[in-house]
Each structure stands twice: as structure tokens, then as C-alpha cells.
Amino acid sequence: MDRAYEGNETRQLALDLGFIPVVSPTSKRLDPWEYDRVMYKRRNEVERRLRRLKGYRRIFSRFEKLDLMFLGFISFVLVADGLRMC
């Protein structure tokens, strides 16, 4: 979830399904809730990593027909991306 889906109904649906919504309330909320800031930061890191993965056309278009080759290329990209960030 992100702030676009932070309505009361959506939060309640997520809780009913057994999920823990980790989204910060907007500043205009009358009754803001507590949220796990560390988990929110980790969620943001995962979303940014997925966005960088989609930047590779080979992954975005799913050129490989075999799952093994697709997962291998994802592993390669994650290692290359990790090395670039060092």
C-alpha cells in the first residue's frame, strides 16, 4: 500500500485479509495512525529496486522463454546493481 490507498475502507480490508498495512497517513488526516517507520523504509527500498529492475528491457519484456534463464538474468541484474551501488 502507499498513500494513494490509505483510506479507512482499504486499510480495514487489508487488516481483514491478514495483511499489515505499512503506510504513513497523510498530513491532512484527522485521526492519524501509528506505523512502523523501519518497515516503511524497507518497503520503499524494495519498490525502488523493482523499478530499477524494470529498467532492463530484457526483464520488462520477458524475452527468455525458460523460467530458469529469466531468474538467472534477474540474479545477474541484482548483482550488477548491487555492485554499482557500492
Q: pLDDT tens digits, residue range 13-63?
A: 888 999 888 888 877 888 877 888 898 888 888 888 888 888 887 777 777
Neighbour-count burial of 28, counting CB atoms closer than 10 A to its CB (0-12 exposed, 13-18 middle, 19+ buried)? exposed
Q: Which residue has the higher pLDDT, 5 or 35?
A: 35
Residue 2 has pLDDT above 70, yes or no: no
**Number of domains the chain contains:** 1
pLDDT of residue 16: 93
How far apart CA 24 and CA 81 sit, in angstroms, is 28
The residues, ordered by sequence, that sit 6+ positions from 64 with a Cβ below 8 Å of its Cβ are 58, 70, 73
pLDDT of residue 77: 86
